[in-house]
Structure 1
Amino acid sequence: MDVIRKQGFLNTIISYAGMVIGYVNLVLLFPVLIPDADELGLTRFLVSVAAIYSQFAALGFTNISAKYFPYFRDRDKKHHGFLFLMLAIPLLGFAVVTGLFVLLKPAVVDYFGKNSPLAVEYYYYIIPLSFFTLLFILLDAYLRSLYKTVVQSFLKDFLERILMLAAVLCYAWGWVDFQWFLVIFIGANSAISLISIVYLLWLRQFFVTPGRGMFQVVRMKEVVQYGLYSFMGNVSSSIISFIDQAMIAHYLGLDGVAYYTTGYFITSAIMVPSRGLNKIASPQVADFFKSGNMAGLAKLYKNMTRVNMVVGFLLFLGIWCNVDNIFALMPKDFSQGRYVILFMGLSRLFDLATGINGMILLTSNKYRYDLYFNLLMMALVVYTNYLLIPPYGISGAAFASMVVFIIYNFFRVMVVAKFFKMQPFGWDSLLIVLISGLAFGASWLLPQLPYLLLDIAVRSILITVVYGGLIVALKVSPEVNNGIRKTLLRFGFAK
């Protein structure tokens, strides 16, 4: 847990710095600098499509790295050519997917042409963006297996957002037209992939030659079988996260995508701590399975859940109790995303409360269940969005996603409990929920202050004092208390 705590802390610091920049970009600046909501929606639509495209091409190799790299790890033997396998096969997959992508253009024109014509006009811009997205996720998975996560967090969560801001400013100041802006925008998203290669070269871990015994380290039949299930699981998971945007673009247009994704992004702050911890926890879960240390895995499962809940609930309270203040800083039309924030925030809280169940399933020999759940979830997302988007717009899409995510995570927890005799909950979980209710009540009793920034500051401090004070005083999370004590010791405020 010490390795997780150290790198998780650094990842979280970087992620929150990036989150601040992302918030300034997507919530405050981009809606003003790109006043055409269709153009703004297109940038987010392209990124979402590239994520699915790259998962199709990756063929499950991002998860293969987490599960099987411990068996290949041997620096003297250049990890038996593992990176060569990780890059060569997905790049072949990319060539195949690109061919299909070109052939499918008429169907895309038919689906999006009426309400989202920009998605059709800039269709082929998705190809280079998807290539570099694929390259980054492969290199990121490899570096996570090497327990090197901090630089990747900096590149993805911080540098990429700075470069995106530079691209938007070039367009807003009239230096380039919208077409060239998209070229620069794609370049900003692609640069982090090239820097990752430089980082691997600096680490002397960029082993791209095939290894002699790379097919003997682990039975290739097992790897291929796992990769197939992992591929289908990743693809279905990516499709799930994209379905709501695609259906909003079809029914409401790209401006609806802009409003929806802005609310969605605001709630993503809730997940930042878990992402920082999960990046380094993933290879540790694989090591626990390799060594058969199920007691250690069960302890990690509970600890990760407790820490993620403590931080996640505080962040949700900070966002939802300030939701009116947030929209006061934005153009009026974006307030349509109010209930997107509520429903997606609750969905993310449930995701945090169910811990690393997905990681456990994917790393274990029960990985097939994660695919089954993804396929079920995909069907439910399509059906619920079909029912709720036409009458309720983007709020209906968010409510549909919340219901489906809760069902999905509930089933995953049940499967982990059945097969591995472990679950993430305890009385401390209920106590965190009760403390959250008290902090929300304190904010609700506070009247609206006359100045916007003053209200944000006072309300946020009140929530933090009530919530944080009770969490520490009642010792709900030993990990949080120990982290605070070590921080105070480091700066000389405690003995």
Structure 2
Amino acid sequence: MGIVLNQSLKNTIITYIGFGIGGISTIFLFPYILGKTFYGLSNYILSCANVIMPLFAIGMQNTLVKFYSQCKTDEEESRFLSFTVLFPLLLSVPLILIGLLFFDDIAYFLTKKNAIVKDFIWLIPFIGLCMAYFEIFYAWARVHMHSVFGNFIKEVGLRFVSLLGLLAIYFKWITIVEFIYFTAVIYFLAFLVTMLYAFRIKKPVFQFVIPSNVKEILIYTFYIILSGSVANLLLDGDKIMLNQYMAIGNIAFYSVATYIALVISVPSRAMHQIVYPITAKLMHNNQHDELNDLYKKTSINLQIVGGFVMLCIFVNIEQLYEMIPKEYSGGILVVFMIGISKYFDLILGNNNAIIFNTKYYRAVLFLGVLLVLLTVGLNMIFIPIYGILGSAFATLLSITLYSLAKLMFVVKRLHLYPFTAQTLYSIALTIVLFLLFYFWQFPFHPIIAIGLKSILVTISYVYLNYKLVISKEINQVIDNVLKKLKIG
């Protein structure tokens, strides 16, 4: 776990810095500077781009990680890297042509409720393509155990430059409409910088040679496209559905709530960057016991860190919303529903990495497709009745069912078990502290109240987890910190 803890810690810190910058933009800048209509529009464009991104990437970011370790020589590595970069580009061309051919039909469907979307539709495939190639070159770096820089670009760089764009609007250097186009430029630059970094790690010698195991690669890639589409639809499909039934400003309300809840999943995102290639290697070498040990460690460590983040958010949520325009306050219940779904997904550890690297992954992916259809159906039922709360409930139900399906698959098929007695102790501890602190309101300014309550929650949570030895790895990190403080 040495390299995992090292790079995961760096990635976690970087990701939280990025989410901190994003939080400033989300809570204090976007609602006031862009207004609900253009904020909703911005989120809608990015959500659509994220949903179609797997089609442009053709699943190559995951395919690269899975099959790269099987290359025996530098020549094979070079050919395989070339294939993962050039093949998606080859298949993206017909996708774009189809989009142009049916542009009027697509535009009519997407703008029935919100006509403002029409002038910016072309940004969706452009940003989607940039996202796709960013992920491919990020995977290029990750297979060489360089996960930190790409994570910095993805989590900090994009949000920081976006924040600068918001400040540019505030000082009237650019208009709100120009900011929407500026967002597309940001994603293009992120892809370009990550590509140059990947080339620096492994100098490319491009040659379009079809790999000898191309059939196995293409079959895997097809299912990864399904997997990526399922995951992204579960993440952003609700915002797309909201555009079909409600004024686009409601996406702004929903986006603020989901952004707050998504902070809970940051530890998983950070650890996944380095755990994925390690999981692939363990599975390729049939090291079942080591994989089971890694599964348990990632599960309990993510549960503790993610549980702490969730606890801090939930006990402070009312004070946090006091700093947002009142029209956004309906999103508090959305935070709880989306947050709980993210927490459950988080405690499954490296479950996704295991599934994507097993020969049995196809059944679960088809189940995921069914759950996407369920999500769409639930949104169609609940959004017209309950608005953004209906969408949040549909997402909670869908993600929970999908996570349960993946968990049962790994347990039954692979005989790998993520949970231990410590899992129950951690859940019980989180519930008790939530009940203790949620109803305890401080009569101070929201920022002071949040700071004070967070300090008390942190002390209580860390102390009890340490004394109960919920995670030996985290206790070891705390011991090392205490030792260094004593030396200092």
Aligned to 1:471: 465
Contact preservation (8 Å) 2:300, 2:471? yes
Equivalent position SS for 2:122: helix
Give the deviation of 1:445 after TM superposition: 5.0
Contact preservation (8 Å) 2:29, 2:166? no
Deviates more, 1:137-146 or 1:446-455: 446-455
CA distance in 1 between counterparts of 2:189 and 2:327 reads 33
Q: Summarize the alignment of residues 7-86 of structure 1 with structure 2, pairs less than 5 Å apart.
A: 7-35=7-35, 37-72=36-71, 74=73, 76-77=74-75, 79-86=77-84
**Residue 480 of structure 1 pairs with residue 474 of structure 2:** yes
Equivalent position SS for 2:417: coil
Deviates more, 1:226-235 or 1:474-483: 226-235
The one-letter amino acid of 1:322's match is N
Q: Summarize the alignment of residues 333-348 of structure 1 with structure 2, pairs less than 5 Å apart.
A: 333-348=327-342
Change (3 A) 1:388 1:66: same
Aligned residue pairs: how many? 488
CA distance in 2 between counterparts of 1:56 and 1:127 reads 10
Aligned to 2:271: 277
**Residue 331 of structure 1 pairs with residue 325 of structure 2:** yes
Aligned to 2:225: 231
Provide, for residues 29-50 of structure 1, a one-character-per-residue CA deviation record: whole Å limited to 9, x for no partner: 1111112x11111111111111
CA distance in 2 between counterparts of 1:339 and 1:108 reads 33
Provide, for residues 79-135 of structure 1, a one-character-per-residue CA deviation record: whole Å limited to 9, x for no partner: 132221111111122212212222333333333323211211211122322221121
CA distance in 2 between counterparts of 1:78 and 1:21 reads 41
Contact preservation (8 Å) 1:167, 1:188? no
Match of 1:87 among 61, 85, 94: 85
Aligned to 2:149: 151
The one-letter amino acid of 2:251's match is V
The one-letter amino acid of 1:164's match is S
Contact preservation (8 Å) 1:45, 1:257? yes
**Residue 215 of structure 1 pairs with residue 226 of structure 2:** no
Aligned to 1:5: 5
Give the deviation of 1:493 after TM superposition: 4.8
**Residue 304 of structure 1 pairs with residue 301 of structure 2:** no
Give the deviation of 1:437 after TM superposition: 1.7
Change (3 A) 1:336 1:446: closer
Give the deviation of 1:24 after TM superposition: 0.2
Q: Summarize the alignment of residues 197-208 of structure 1 with structure 2, pairs less than 5 Å apart.
A: 197-203=195-201, 205-208=202-205
- TM norm structure 1: 0.95
Change (3 A) 1:162 1:383: same
The one-letter amino acid of 1:25's match is S
CA distance in 2 between counterparts of 1:323 and 1:31 reads 17
Aligned to 1:116: 114
CA distance in 1 between counterparts of 2:72 and 2:403 reads 32
The one-letter amino acid of 1:68's match is F
Q: Summarize the alignment of residues 100-115 of structure 1 with structure 2, pairs less than 5 Å apart.
A: 100-115=98-113
Match of 1:127 among 111, 122, 125: 125
The one-letter amino acid of 1:283's match is P
The one-letter amino acid of 1:240's match is L
Equivalent position SS for 2:203: coil
Equivalent position SS for 2:70: helix
Give the deviation of 1:266 after TM superposition: 0.6
Percent sequence identity over matched residues? Answer: 25
Change (3 A) 1:493 1:373: farther
CA distance in 2 between counterparts of 1:329 and 1:453 reads 9
Equivalent position SS for 1:71: coil
Contact preservation (8 Å) 1:72, 1:80? no
The one-letter amino acid of 2:456's match is L
Equivalent position SS for 1:227: helix
Contact preservation (8 Å) 2:86, 2:208? no
Change (3 A) 1:128 1:73: farther
Change (3 A) 1:481 1:240: same
Change (3 A) 1:183 1:73: farther
Aligned to 2:392: 398
Equivalent position SS for 2:192: helix
The one-letter amino acid of 2:150's match is Q
Deviates more, 1:142-151 or 1:238-247: 238-247
Aligned to 1:417: 411
Equivalent position SS for 1:72: coil
CA distance in 1 between counterparts of 2:72 and 2:266 reads 29
Change (3 A) 1:457 1:403: same
Contact preservation (8 Å) 1:344, 1:401? yes
The one-letter amino acid of 2:323's match is L
Give the deviation of 1:296 after TM superposition: 0.6
The one-letter amino acid of 1:46's match is I
Contact preservation (8 Å) 1:87, 1:138? yes
The one-letter amino acid of 1:17's match is I
Match of 2:134 among 126, 133, 136: 136
Give the deviation of 1:488 after TM superposition: 2.6
Give the deviation of 1:248 after TM superposition: 0.6
CA distance in 1 between counterparts of 2:443 and 2:463 reads 23
Q: Which runs of 5+ in 2 are unaligned?
A: none
CA distance in 2 between counterparts of 1:122 and 1:407 reads 35
Equivalent position SS for 1:34: helix
Equivalent position SS for 1:221: helix
Contact preservation (8 Å) 1:63, 1:230? yes
CA distance in 2 between counterparts of 1:348 and 1:189 reads 25
Q: Which runs of 5+ in 1 are unaligned?
A: none
Give the deviation of 1:298 after TM superposition: 0.4
Q: Summarize the alignment of residues 349-388 of structure 1 with structure 2, pairs less than 5 Å apart.
A: 349-388=343-382
Give the deviation of 1:175 after TM superposition: 1.9
Equivalent position SS for 2:137: helix
Change (3 A) 1:447 1:161: closer
CA distance in 1 between counterparts of 2:390 and 2:318 reads 20
Aligned to 1:317: 311
The one-letter amino acid of 2:277's match is P
Aligned to 2:243: 249
The one-letter amino acid of 2:203's match is F
Provide, for residues 394-453 of structure 1, a one-character-per-residue CA deviation record: whole Å limited to 9, x for no partner: 011011111111111111111111111112111111100111122112213523323222
Equivalent position SS for 1:321: helix
